[in-house]
Structure 1
Amino acid sequence: MTATDGRVWFVTGASRGLGRAIAEAALAAGHRVVAASRTKGTLGDEHPGRLVHIPLDVTSRDAVFDAVERAAAVFGGLDVVVNNAGVMLYGMVEEATEEQIRAHFDVNFFGAVWVAQAVLPHLKGGGRLLQVTSMGSGGGMASVGFYGAGKAALDALSEALAMEVERFGVHVTNLQMGGYATELFTSGTTTTTPDPAYRELRTELEEMWGDDAGPAPETAAPVVLRVAALADPPRRLVVGSASFDMVRELARMRAEEYTRWEDLSRQAPG
């Protein structure tokens, strides 16, 4: 894949944040883009003949399959799919309602599954499926546990999917994104009703995270384009320098804990 070969990209959640940044970068590189999102947003129309917007709510499996068929028909196929649509459920596990939890997973997990199922027939023979997960999908964090759980489920499923479809020439990569200023924590967030019992913990978390929203998503888009261009891309990639350091440190701490309790683990024969 080169910068001018005009591959066809299908990007979900393309109206804002990371999805929009990736769509714009792909267009700037000479590719064609089908941008899917619930609302069109402000993604420009300055690419006549190379950018098409399709309304899509990924929580509807039927709507996803219909949108993918329409997307494939626009430019005669699909080459790169960025499974990016996502939301945030912010709050402690005890606080979340059943409705909030199911709505969250309908977008972040099931919606991504519907997209993957729908696009696979169009990617066989050399296509790329880029699954947007999270650098935090390897473990849980207080107050964003449901977000991490959904991304962890997508991570695991996508690794299985990669094994299943590699024989058909489809490359699947989990993009374990770091923290970017994507509006996820603003317009993309549903918040639980706070339980006063967690007030102290909430304050500690707010102080730990601070006010920095992170770098602009446009800074991550070039990495995504490079992954899509690799002949043999990784199955998982942490996207973000600071996030890479954090993931590596968490992996080290987890390995130390396993080792500390190795004797107890080995008391069971399984």
Structure 2
Amino acid sequence: MESKKVWFVTGASKGLGLSLVKKLLSDGYRVAATSRNLSDLSKAVDHHSDQFLPLAVNIKNEESVHEAIEKVISTFGKIDVVVNNAGYGLLGGLEELTDEEARENFDINVFGSLNVIRKVLPYLREQQSGNILNISSVGGFTGSAPGGGIYCATKFAVNGFSEALYSEVKPFGIKVTIVMPGYFRTNFLSEGSLAVPKNQMDAYQNVRDMVNLHQNDMDQQQAGDPEKAAAAMIQVVSDPNPPLNLFLGEDAYNAANSKIAAVQKDLESWKTLTTSTAFE
């Protein structure tokens, strides 16, 4: 039965992860969900039944991740769907951001997901089935906005390892989908989900404008409905042939098409030079 599938969702106390967990539970799925703070998660979800397993997990710590997955297996007997959703936004110019700030964004957004993937794959391979949804961003496909360099770099990394993972696990019946949302009306642009550099530079007015736009003008004005995003992810998992690339939101659709057109233009405009580099 589709409703009996077991979902494992990281970063579930807010944002798209929270919307997804609530939707899954209301639809009768069994859900294991993680957050750094267990009380925040339990308060946000507010669901008390054998269907729901809240877990406090530090996704940067491999042992913490391993213990969580073992707990899910011992509780529900299996894991069918893994959603690597934990992450946070970072807006700042490349010159402004310290090495520590940049690495922390990679530690959560990239290496945290890799920790989960490494620890869960033995179970998925053994059962010869499963879906992995890696929550990226349209910023993992096009990174042209000033101030988005490091965040987009983390999401480009997610896209890159997910494409390789897609090919690696296909022989085991495991399916991989990169979910690339545009702007959805969650608390993603709020304090605690969107970080900025400690040392901001007035010289980068375009970056300051972008930060102000996101923190003040766009917050809670996003066009995307998180409940519809959650339903879309559930629909994709129920499909026997889910896509590798799933863009969510008309803004994401338009931004992706613009990037594709720009790359195509450069390819054709510089084709002669591009193809002139072989030995005669």
Cα 1:84–1:207, aligned 2, differ >3 Å: closer, same or farther?
closer
The answer on 1:188 being equivalent to 2:193 is yes
Contact 1:126 1:169 in 2 (8 A): yes
The answer on 1:198 being equivalent to 2:204 is yes
Residue number in structure 2 paired with 1:57: 58
Residue number in structure 2 paired with 1:165: 169
Cα 1:166–1:221, aligned 2, differ >3 Å: closer, same or farther?
same
Instruction: Report deviation, 1:157.
Output: 0.5
Contact 1:54 1:71 in 2 (8 A): no
How many residues matched? 268
Residue number in structure 2 paired with 1:130: 133
Flag structure 2 segments of 5+ consecutive residues without an equivalent.
Answer: none
Task: Give 1:165-244 correspondences, 5 Å limit.
Answer: 165-186=169-190, 187-192=192-197, 193-203=199-209, 206=212, 210-211=217-218, 212-244=221-253
Q: In structure 2, what is the Cα distance between the partners aligned to 1:177 and 1:61? A: 27
Task: Give 1:92-111 correspondences, 5 Å limit.
Answer: 92-111=93-112
Taking structure 2 as the reference length, the TM-score comes to: 0.90
Q: Give % identity.
A: 32
Alignment root-mean-square deviation, CA: 1.9
Deviations 1:205-253 (A, max 9, x none): 7569943334342221000000111111111111112311221122112
Question: Mean alpha-carbon deviation: is it higher for 175-184 or for 48-57?
Answer: 175-184
Q: In structure 1, what is the Cα distance between the partners aligned to 2:200 and 2:22? A: 38
Q: In structure 1, what is the Cα distance between the partners aligned to 2:83 and 2:64? A: 17
Taking structure 1 as the reference length, the TM-score comes to: 0.93
Q: In structure 2, what is the Cα distance between the partners aligned to 1:47 and 1:244? A: 37
Q: In structure 1, what is the Cα distance between the partners aligned to 2:8 and 2:213? A: 38
Instruction: Report deviation, 1:267.
Output: 2.1
Cα 1:201–1:22, aligned 2, differ >3 Å: closer, same or farther?
closer
Flag structure 1 segments of 5+ consecutive residues without an equivalent.
Answer: none
Residue number in structure 2 paired with 1:35: 33
Cα 1:17–1:205, aligned 2, differ >3 Å: closer, same or farther?
closer
Residue number in structure 2 paired with 1:120: 121
